Amino acid sequence: MPVISAPHAFNEGQLYVDLKPIFGRSLFLKCEGFNFAGSVKLKAAVEMVEAAEREGVIKPDSILVESSSGNLGVALSMIAASKGYRFLCVTDSRCNLSTRLLMEALGSRVHTIAELDANGGFLGARINYVRTLCDSDDRYVWLSQYTNPGNWKAHYYKTAPEIARHFPRLDVLFVGVGTTGTLMGCARYFRQWQRPVRIVAVDSAGSVIFGGEPGRRMIPGLGMSMRPPLLDESYVDEVIRVEERDTIRACHRLARRGFLFGGSTGTVVSGAMRWLADHHRRELTAVAIAPDLGERYLDTIYQSNWLQDIYGEDVLDSVDMPDGSWAAGPRAHAPREPPTAPPANRRRRR
């Protein structure tokens, strides 16, 4: 029976969902949403704060500051509340409302950037805001998840060994990418492991993490509008890009079987199922990482008006196809034009 006195002392690391009954192909989904911060970002937050404490960077009057699309902000809010630090999260208008409210409920300040930057995203504007703040007042301590090695080390020391312990015959690991902290930590660990593991990065279409043209992205968590400084592509065997319509379908297919996951899980599952369908020569031991749960997405991914406004009336049409014939990927549908008149509740990409 775990008994804790600090919220970050609990993090369920041993829960997997077998997706075979739902998708017709074996894939073990590692659930990272069962902790008090509700996401995989708790691990990176703990590692980065504890490193800053060890290095003496955090003083009694310090104010932690971080740019986050939401989940890291919640994790840092929780840790800051527990340890008595002040925390300011710089986010953007694509951040879910419930995530913003959650940070405020935990006592953090939230600054929301609403203007797109020169790259047509929000990330540059968020980072500029943090830099200006740090230049103007030396009480601010920027943990910088985009460059902080603690971000990937958290997964090298925790996430990857948790997987290795339960899957000694692991063949392939699917990891969604944002800062690439999860990917790089796991990829570095399995590069040194006792057997070769194929590392497949799953990105959202419109993200420029692995190059390509930027495009509209409405679902927070995965993807970036710049190349992540932590990324070392020599550790990545393959990259899959997933259209947001396929992310939505995978999320709803899981939800119809009672599993309410966040958007990035839908992306990873969709990409992984497509990859497994193309590599079905033998039964592979495959694991994918589910970064968070679905409650923070009730007013977006799980709200029919939002879905229809952005992706069109037919976005959920193929969700109920029989198991096994479920086809994730661009082949399954023709691309749609975005709606001409933006609805009032529409979010903007960063």
Give the tokens for residue 25: 């192909």
Q: Measuring CA to CA, which residue among 147, 185, 179, 167 is closest to residue 16?
A: 167
Instruction: Kindly identify the residues of this chain, within the stretch 304-343, that bind ligand PLP according to CB under 6 A.
Output: none
Count each helix (H run) and each strand (E run) in the chain, helices first. Answer: 11, 10
Of 171-179, 198-206, 238-246, 310-318: span binding ligand PLP (CB under 6 A): 171-179
Amino acid at 219: I
Give the tokens for residue 284: 């592979």
Minimal distance, residue 314 CB to ligand PLP, in Å:
26
178 binds ligand PLP (CB under 6 A): yes
Alpha helical stretches, state H, the chain: 20-23, 41-54, 71-83, 97-105, 123-136, 149-154, 160-166, 181-191, 244-255, 263-278, 304-311
Minimal distance, residue 20 CB to ligand PLP, in Å:
23
> Which residue in 130, 292, 301, 350 binds ligand PLP (CB under 6 A)?
292
144 binds ligand PLP (CB under 6 A): no
Q: Is 239 helix (H, G, I), strand (E, B) or coil?
A: strand
> Which is closer to ligand PLP, CB of 176 or CB of 329?
176
> Which is closer to ligand PLP, CB of 92 or CB of 292?
292
176 binds ligand PLP (CB under 6 A): yes
Instruction: Kindly identify the residues of this chain, within the stretch 36-65, that bind ligand PLP according to CB under 6 A.
Output: 39, 41
Residue 117 near residue 111, CB atoms below 8 Å: no
Minimal distance, residue 3 CB to ligand PLP, in Å:
28
Residue 160 near residue 40, CB atoms below 8 Å: no
> Which is closer to ligand PLP, CB of 151 or CB of 249?
151
Of 8-16, 87-95, 174-182, 320-328: span binding ligand PLP (CB under 6 A): 174-182
Give the tokens for residue 96: 């879910």
Torsion angle defined by CA atoms of residues 212, 127, 119 and 116, in that order, rounded to the nearest 10 degrees:
130
Amino acid at 204: S
What Cα–Cα distance (Å) separates residue 251 from each residue in 222, 262, 282, 340?
Answer: 14, 7, 26, 26
Minimal distance, residue 176 CB to ligand PLP, in Å:
5
Q: Measuring CA to CA, which residue among 327, 329, 282, 260 is closest to residue 23?
A: 327
207 binds ligand PLP (CB under 6 A): no
> Which is closer to ligand PLP, CB of 275 or CB of 297?
297
**How many residues make contact with ligand PLP (CB under 6 A)?**
19
> Which is closer to ligand PLP, CB of 11 or CB of 264?
264
Minimal distance, residue 161 CB to ligand PLP, in Å:
16
294 binds ligand PLP (CB under 6 A): no
Q: How far is CA 230 from the centre of its chain?
A: 15
In the shown chain, the binding pattern of residues 67 to 86 toward ligand PLP, with x for contact by CB under 6 A and - for none, equals --x-xx--------------
Q: Could you give the CA distance from residue 199 to residue 175 in angstroms, rounded to a whole number?
A: 8
> Which is closer to ligand PLP, CB of 255 or CB of 327?
255
Using CB under 6 A as the criterion, which residues of the chain lie in contact with ligand PLP when the complex forms? 39, 41, 69, 71-72, 176-183, 221-222, 262, 264, 291-292
